[in-house]
Structure 1
Amino acid sequence: MAQFQVLIIGDEILSGRRQDQHFGVALASLQRHGHQLAGVRYLPDHPATLVAAFRDTLTSNANVISFGGIGATPDDHTRLALATAADIALHRHDEAAALIEARFGEQAFPYRIQMAEFPAGSSLIPNPVNQVAGCFFRQHALLPGFPSMAWPMLEWVLETHFTDGQAPHVCSIIVPDAREGELVGIMQTLVDQHPNTGFSSLPSYGNARYATPHIEFSTSGERDAAEATMRDLCAQLDAAGLIWFVSSAATAS
């Protein structure tokens, strides 16, 4: 299982002129391939901000999926920002340029051809919609902002550059009419005894899973560890005289 940072770039999203559609699709794609979303950032079309973000992800050797800002208009800064952060030049990729010329002919010049300029050493991410490629550079995938193009390109990246992982096993229970403040001690003991197992507590006043107030507790990780942690939690809830039942949200690896 790999961890990924997702960058969603564009003033139009930060201003509310367009609603982001990438987050949910990226999360579902990563989970489907057995990977984990480690973080998401919404960034403006501002060169210095983008350079700083890419310096951070390059320094940490992060796997990055970036949406937006790789067109040929003056507000598209993503390609140059990544190159600047890596302290290398933009380079016109011959194959990318040939694809753009084949698609647009004379109209490829002087502007559309700029979309073939990527950080030197990049490989291409094929675009099945209009053949204007994205690029893959040091575990960073630069994808367009258009969902119809970006989403199949994301699938190609995950299938081509990464090996599918094993999603964590998740155990979930619902405890009706429970109050988090009264169960912190139980939770802390559980976390102390099982430091390598994921744990979450989600209080609710009522939702689709259970209509009245409740807490949904979950453990996650390797199957045996997640199940052992959940058994310990249930035993402590039993000792406290609390009713619980298995949530339909529980998943198996």
Structure 2
Amino acid sequence: MNRMLVRFHTTATAKTTRRIALLAALLAALPAAFVSQAQVQEAPARQRPSPIDMPLPLPQKMLPLGCCQCLGEQKTLDLSTGSSNGWSVVSSLTPAIAAVPATILTSPHPAWNLPTGGAQWVSAGTSGATGLPAATYTYRLRFKVQKCTIPQTVKLTGIAGADDIFKVFLDSNPTPVSACSGGWCFNTQNPTPSFTVNNLAPGSHVLTVVVVNTGGPTGMFLKAGLEGQCPKEPIKSDRAAEYSDKATDN
């Protein structure tokens, strides 16, 4: 009988010890769980980006200049802001915004009175005509000159305007193809010159417009396009030209 009581007492003590250990473990885990839950609830409030920081999907297409189907044909491609809305924009703000599609401004600022030639004013957001933070805003558009069976001579022409000042670059060339300084590059008080780039090679290209805004309204427009001219007569190969020269000599 005494042995049975001792065995019962030992078993009960072991069970009680295990229960106490389990309860202690649960109590120790509760504060961590509450802290973790609080962190989950607080995280969105701390990390929620402002509208200007919110990344948006970029247009993925690359605008192509088509090939000629016959001799003497001309091909064109409109690269103007607003024509395809393929332009993207990124800011130098800290933290910098992700590249987003440039926003077409349906109601440009009244002082932006430069003739746009049909191009539309664009900005980094819908409030561009009323005000965005002082920063450098970089606009980009990708396009492609295709390598064609009938070769064509391609040139790029354009004219730009921006609030406040700007530079236009083609590809990685550090020398701008157009620029405006001194401010008011959006008004007839400071008209901007047109530009031309001749003999664009086949391949991918990037147009970049860098706009510096010192505060307040900001935006830009670019009226630009490609013109491809195909030859009116067949181009002789080197071998054909050599054969023709020999025939003439004889």
Fold shared per TM-score above 0.5: no
TM-score range for the pair, normalised by the shorter chain length? under 0.3
**TM-score of the two chains, using structure 1 as the length reference:** 0.19
Greater RCO (CA < 8 Å, at least 6 residues apart): 2
- Rg larger in structure: 2
**TM-score of the two chains, using structure 2 as the length reference:** 0.19
Q: Which has the higher helix share?
A: 1
Q: Which has the higher strand share?
A: 2
